[in-house]
Amino acid sequence: MTEETKQSPSERILATRRNFLRKAGLGAGAAVAGSTLAAPYINAQTGPIRWRLQTYSGAPLGAHVIQPQIEAFNAAANGEMVIELFFADQLVPTADLFRALQAGTLDAVQSDEATMASPVDIAVFGGYFPFATRYSLDVAALFQYYGLKEIWEEAYAGVDNVTWLSTGAWDPLHIFTVNKPIRSLADLKGLRVFGVPTAGRFLSRYGLVPVTIPWDNVEVAMQTGELDGVAWCGFTEAYEVGWADVCKYALTNSVTGAWFGSYFANTPSWQKVPPHLQQLFRSTIDQSHYYRNVWYWGGEAKLRVEGEKMELTALPEEEWAQVVKDAEGFWNEVAASSPRAGKVVEAFKKYAATMDKAGYPYR
C-alpha cells in the first residue's frame, strides 16, 4: 500500500492545497531571504528597516493567509527591509491590535476591522457582513468599481497614525458544531460559538451565543465543552487548522460568501519606507490576495464533497429564506448608523441588484 492510498480523502485534498503553495512560488521566500539578508544591499551603518507585523490568524492558518507574502517581501527587499511576522496574540491580544498599531508597538497589522475593534464607523463591515458577498471576487469588485476603496480611505484619513492599505477576500462563513447538528433555526438557540463580531451579532437574534477567546484556545475549548462550535470560517480553513477533527457537523448554509480582511500600517512607520519598498509591499499584498483566493476557493467545494470528517446539514428552505429576509432589516439598521455606513450599504445593494440582473454565472 502506497503512502498516498493510506491517506484519507481530506488528507489528500489538503496535501494538494499545500503543494499549490510551493508551485505558486510563494513558499520559497524564506530560503532566499536567508541568503539575501546575510549581505544587505544598503549601507551597513544605517541597517535595514525593521517592521513588526501581527496577524489576526494563528500559525496554522497564517502559513497560508500571510506567511508566504512576508517571506516573498523579505526576499525581494534585498536586505533593505525586514518584516518580522507574529501570529494571533503573540505580541498583543487580537482585540488590542488597533491600539498597538496606532501606538507604534506594531508597524503593521493584518485583520478585519470588527475583530480588532477599529474605531471607525465602517468597522462593522470588516469580517463577515451578512449576505454582502457570495463569492470572493465580490470583495475586489466592490472595492474597485463600487466605491468601497474611496470610502475606506476617507474613513481612515480621520484616524491618527493608521494607514489603511488594502482589503481582500478570505473564505465563506459556515457554522461547524461539535455535538449538536443544526437542522433548524431553533437548533441555534443557546449554542456557544466562537466567531467574528458582526456575524455573531446578526446570528444572536436566533439565540446563538457569540463567545470571544484567543484563537489558539478554540480547539481545546470545543474539546472541553466550553464552546459548542465555531462560526469563523469555511471548509478549507476548518480542515486546515484541525477544527474539522473536533466538529462532527457542518451547516452548509453560508451566511456570507467571503470575509473582508485588510492590511494596515502605522503611519509614521509607513512614511519612513521609501517609495519602491512601499510599492513592493503593496505588490506582495496583491500577490497574497491572489494566492489566498485560489487556496480557499479550490478547497471549499472539494472538501464539502470529498471531505469525510463532518456530516453536512442544512436549514429548511423556508427558514433560510427568513434568514435572508432578516438580513435586509439588519442592513437597513446598520445603514442608519452613519452617513458613511449608509454609503457602504447602498454600494452593497447596487452591486447585488447588478449581479441579480446579470444572472448566470454571477448569481
Q: How confident is the model at residue 46 (pLDDT cuts 50, 70, 90)?
A: confident
pLDDT of 24 reads 53
Q: How confident is the model at residue 21 (pLDDT cuts 50, 70, 90)?
A: low
* 3-state secondary structure (DSSP) of residue 201: helix
Q: Which residues contact 12 (CB under 8 A, 6 or more apart)?
A: 4
pLDDT in tens, 269-284: 999 999 999 999 999 9
Pairwise CA distance, residues 234 & 241, whole Å = 11
Share of the chain above pLDDT 90, in %: 84
Judged on CB neighbours under 10 Å (0-12, 13-18, 19+), 267 is: middle
Pick the range with the lowest mean pLDDT from 3-12, 193-202, 336-345.
3-12
pLDDT of 29 reads 40
Q: Which residues contact 338 (CB under 8 A, 6 or more apart)?
A: 121
pLDDT of 8 reads 76
Query: According to CATH, what is the number of the domain 173-257+309-358?
Result: 3.40.190.170
For residue 177, pLDDT beyond 70? yes
Helical spans, DSSP H, in 86-196: 97-103, 136-145, 148-157
Q: May I ask the CATH architecture of the domain 3-171+259-301? A: 3-Layer(aba) Sandwich (3.40)
* Cα torsion angle, 66, 78, 103, 151, sign: negative
Task: Indicate the domain borders of the chain.
Answer: 3-171+259-301, 173-257+309-358
pLDDT of 38 reads 38
Pick the range with the lowest mean pLDDT from 41-55, 67-81, 141-155.
41-55
For residue 20, pLDDT beyond 60? no
Q: How confident is the model at residue 7 (pLDDT cuts 50, 70, 90)?
A: confident
pLDDT of 43 reads 43
- The reply to whether domains 3-171+259-301 and 173-257+309-358 share a CATH topology is yes
For residue 91, pLDDT beyond 50? yes
Angstrom distances, CA of residue 316 to CA of 184, 313, 321: 7, 10, 9
* Average pLDDT over every residue of 86-103: 96
Pairwise CA distance, residues 126 & 120, whole Å = 11
pLDDT of 36 reads 35
pLDDT in tens, 245-277: 999 999 999 999 999 999 999 999 999 999 999
For residue 2, pLDDT beyond 70? no
Pairwise CA distance, residues 149 & 288, whole Å = 18
* 3-state secondary structure (DSSP) of residue 263: strand
For residue 26, pLDDT beyond 60? no
| Peptide bond before residue 40 is cis, with ω within 30 degrees of 0 | no
Average pLDDT of the chain, as a whole number: 90
pTM to 2 decimal places: 0.87
Q: Would you say 317 and 253 are in contact if contact means Cβ atoms under 8 Å apart?
A: no
pLDDT in tens, 27-43: 434 333 333 343 444 44
pLDDT of 23 reads 55
pLDDT of 37 reads 40
